Structure 1
């Protein structure tokens, strides 16, 4: 008789009430859903409990990587599917995940493509598709890195198998909200690198900003995504400018206080 493997869907949340219901609806077929909430003040926690999730609370915020580690430790399944509240598992991806768990491969983690929404359009170019992410893995063998932002699964020498089916990612539904989140990520990126002793020149700010626009618009064929492609290229350039300008500013401010 073949072994039956259990799947834990794991989320970290903070004020995700607007998005959470549809997200959890797409994964209700899992054996358990674990939500680790970081002090939400909206209806995130009641919604998660109503959907049958096992909800836990965290008083501190150590960064995305460690928070994902904490959430994973609360799970009991053999396999982890790590998702966010603004993501939805499509029926095709669900079938692929269930098949992978029924017939697991040794020393293997699983990735799949995300279709990212930007101002009403699921992008097909601009570096936003297929946007493969590795999110399905054995609980006892792998975990996320400690990075505060842009954390990733530490897979070592594991084989990465690509699953069929896409995950829907509601990345940018509102430009101003998206920009505020980008600003937080940029500040965290710059602060972490400043603490590591990294620095950049004023010329680097200019070159990285211009490079980000050209990479999105030309090299990644953002022009094929129409108006949203041009806007995304500008947003990527702005985000890059903020990261490197903040890193330069941290260094400049530190020197003035010497």
Structure 2
């Protein structure tokens, strides 16, 4: 099995990530010009290192990593994710049976100081494990796996540590909002000021806080719902400015 990981300045995460998938026959690390010890630490796990600029295109970067693999099974992993023992056993069982499907893995968010399992941080299912046959990834912000195999859910969860501090969190939200707006602009998506800028952010926050039960996470649940409002508002404001004034005030 090959594991493909994208990285940039992940020295705090890379060892725990690679330790959790050290059962792999091959680890492919695509490094986006790290200036810390990411590459040095990855080499301790015999990872094959490839230097390549991400340039805001996750899909292209992951597809490049996939093209470097040599094993018949493929697992895509982020540096802030960990494979649990129960998930490893499921992966091992699949490889043993050889059942060719696109496997969905449930991802569980963890934080050091807070517990959040609802709203925007409820466990989600992600496509990450498949036969290494004709797989490619498309999309700048939220990449989509292109596979000819039917989907099936795996037993066992992946642990995800999405944010360490507010700076990292808001930096990612800002980056995602910017890339989403640029994607909408390229797609020439329809835009209504009232619907998308006035109403949509409020609906987004209401949905994650009440419908997706974010309120069950207490104060931190409210904080994430409020930030989801801000993120939704920002990406549509950015899109509005791109359409009407070239992205400038």
TM-score by length of 1: 0.90
Which residue of 1 is the match for residue 147 of structure 2? 155
Contact 1:10 1:33 in 2 (8 A): yes
Q: 1:47 to 1:254 in 2, by over 3 A?
A: same
Which residue of 2 is the match for residue 51 of structure 1? 45
- Counterparts of 1:129 and 1:255 in 2: how far apart (Å)? 33
- Counterparts of 1:12 and 1:65 in 2: how far apart (Å)? 11
1:181 equivalent among 159, 172, 189: 172
2:137 equivalent among 132, 144, 150: 144
Q: Secondary structure at the match of 1:144?
A: strand
Q: 1:119 to 1:176 in 2, by over 3 A?
A: farther
Which residue of 2 is the match for residue 113 of structure 1? 106
Which residue of 2 is the match for residue 124 of structure 1? 117
Which residue of 2 is the match for residue 194 of structure 1? 185
Which residue of 1 is the match for residue 78 of structure 2? 84
Contact 2:238 2:247 in 1 (8 A): no
Q: Secondary structure at the match of 1:65?
A: helix
- Counterparts of 1:205 and 1:24 in 2: how far apart (Å)? 41
- Counterparts of 1:130 and 1:176 in 2: how far apart (Å)? 23
Q: Secondary structure at the match of 1:208?
A: helix
Which residue of 2 is the match for residue 4 of structure 1? none
Q: Where do 5+ consecutive residues of structure 2 fail to align? A: none
- Counterparts of 2:247 and 2:98 in 1: how far apart (Å)? 54
Post-superposition shift, 1:196?
2.5
**Cα shift readout 1:197-242 (whole Å, capped 9, x = no counterpart):** 2342321212111011101100101111112211111111111111
Post-superposition shift, 1:23?
0.4
Over aligned residues, Cα RMSD in angstroms? 1.9
- In the alignment, does 2:211 pair up with 1:219? yes
Which residue of 2 is the match for residue 63 of structure 1? 57
Q: 1:99 to 1:148 in 2, by over 3 A?
A: same
Contact 1:120 1:173 in 2 (8 A): no
Equivalent pairs, count: 248
Which residue of 1 is the match for residue 8 of structure 2? 14
Which residue of 1 is the match for residue 23 of structure 2? 29
Contact 2:241 2:247 in 1 (8 A): no
Which residue of 2 is the match for residue 232 of structure 1? 224
